[in-house]
Amino acid sequence: MTDITFVDVTLRDGNHTYKHQFTSEIVSKTAAALDAAGVDIIEVGHGDGLGGSTVHIGRSPEPAINLIKAACDSVTQARIAVLLLPGFGIFRDLEECKEAGVSVARIASHSTEADTTKQHIRKAADLGMMTVGYLISAGMADPETLADEARKLESYGASYVNLAESQGHLVPTEVAERVRAVRNAVSIPIGFHPHNNLGLANGNILAAIDEGATYIDGSLKGFGGGAGNAQTEATIAALKRAGHTVRTDLPGILDAAQVFADLVAPQPMPVIDNDSIMMGYANVYGGYVLPVKRAAEKYGIDARALIMKLGERSVVAGQEDAVEQEAQALAAAQAKAVA
């Protein structure tokens, strides 16, 4: 059985579900509850990471560093992590986070663009932070490509490689192929971050662990892009049930989930709705679920048709303008057909 390091991403990826409106109070109380439950690493910040608070994606109600400081001040055991996508986040963001008490920097890129992370991984390492090479949308790259990108991350000094299955598109055999390829390519540990659009998040986690993954991501109540992430409290139960070693306490994490749910009420919990299923099927980035719903309503078009167009276009994270473009094109085509 495997010794698992558990990373809870509620306070970063879950911000997508909450329209990037987490406050210091939500972060402080949730981080304290996660810490009390024995979670190893807690990721905090805007849904798109450091520098992500923009008109283009969504403004936070307060500076990200406030949320990060609130988390750092609320834990006694857990390590606090941040996510940075080069182009959004800059060196100074990493420096401020280090000063605030952050000890883990997860440096992200699209799954075929690891070379964009080199400088930021090395900067984080120079600051004495644990550095993670984070490959977004791992389901959009084949196993061999992921192995090549993972080799780059290892050469840059990453402490481990995290494969983010951001669309909830892969089935367990496909996850296993990708983790196996990366395991055979690098000597550093491997992490896995699933989404639940097809209801396969925990099955995919178990497949990833069978092939060597030892860092696992989840979020309380499943908060996250698309249909949400693996639901931390259910994932902890499943990992323990499968015989893996997890330091997180099951009753404690159930308590943390309730603390978080009370803080964000009456926000609905993520569900596997029709749009989320279509996004998983079409391999569309989960962070687009709310923009897709808004665009479909705004232009009076079928959300399913819009999602399929985005899938055909192979949109990646950070291309929110593509949702609007394709929605306008569908609306124009629909009007022409009626005329």
Residue numbers annotated as active site: 16
The whole-angstrom distance between residue 337's C-alpha and the CA centroid of its chain comes to 39
Long-range contacts (CB closer than 8 Å, 24 or more residues apart) made by 258-265: 259/29, 259/30, 259/33, 260/10, 260/26, 260/30, 260/33, 260/220, 260/221, 260/223, 261/220, 261/221, 263/25, 263/26, 263/29, 263/30, 264/18, 264/26, 264/223
Task: Tokens 């090395």: give the residue.
Answer: 122
In 36-84, DSSP assigns E strands to 41-43, 79-84
Helix (H) or strand (E) holding 216: strand 215-218
Q: What CA–CA distance (Å, rounded) separates 144 from 177?
A: 9
User: How many CB atoms sit inside 10 A of residue 21's CB?
Assistant: 15
Tokens of 76: 């006694």
DSSP string, 4-20: EEEEE-TTTTHHHHTTT
261 burial via Cβ count (<10 Å: 0-12, 13-18, 19+):
middle
Is residue 202 within 8 Å of 235, Cβ to Cβ?
A: yes
Cα separation, 219 vs 36, in Å, equals 16
Parallel, antiparallel, or unpaired for β 215-218 and 3-8?
parallel
DSSP annotation of 217? E
C-alpha 76/C-alpha 69 separation (Å) is: 13
CA atoms of 240 and 261, how far apart (whole Å): 23
Q: What CA–CA distance (Å, rounded) separates 318 from 198? A: 22
